[in-house]
Amino acid sequence: MKKTASESQIEGRIVNVSSEGHRFAYREGIRFDLINDSSSYNAVYAYGQSKLANILHANELATRMKDEGVEITANSLHPGTIATNLIRHHSFIEGMVNWVGKYFLKNIPQGAATTCYVALHPQVKGVSGKYFSDSNISNPSSLAKDVDLAKKLWDFSLNLTGNK
């Protein structure tokens, strides 16, 4: 991607899809010491942790691309609450969402709008390290803005993948 952006002189864009669910991560944000601990697992907090990680990754990547002087931006976003099959294993809740949700939830094209905006719109040229919602820059949680946590996650990920 770096080579393509350099040779084509066209800005590359990396878009991480996150969620407002990032606000419901574990208290410490990322549980580095308990990453695979099934005894303290909580589905809601684990989902929040994963979405927080998406934001932190985009932020750290944005910093690294800027430091390298590369014409690649990295941003994250909340696509909105979309009528999907995410809760398909919770039949009662799924039934309620299907019955009432059509009045309040975004459909698939509406849910894709912010992703397309961040990936393609000329107004986002040069914008990096931001969190978007409804095609606007939005304010993520304080944990999502923690530069030390983002770097720690980056280093932790490199270590897990053997890329020290």
Distance, CA of 60 to CA of 4 (rounded, Å): 21
Residue in 26, 41, 45, 103 annotated catalytic: 41
SS (H, E, C) the chain: CHHHHHHHCCCEEEEEECCHHHHHCECCECCHHHCCCHHHCCHHHHHHHHHHHHHHHHHHHHHHHHHHCCCEEEEEEECCCECCCCCCCCHHHHHHHHHHHHHCCECHHHHHHHHHHHHHCHHHCCCCCCEEECCEEECCCCHHHCHHHHHHHHHHHHHHCCCC
Distance, CA of 84 to CA of 105 (rounded, Å): 9
Are the CB atoms for 12 and 5 separated by under 8 Å? yes
> Is 131 noted as a catalytic residue in this protein?
no
Q: Give me the active site residues, please.
A: 41
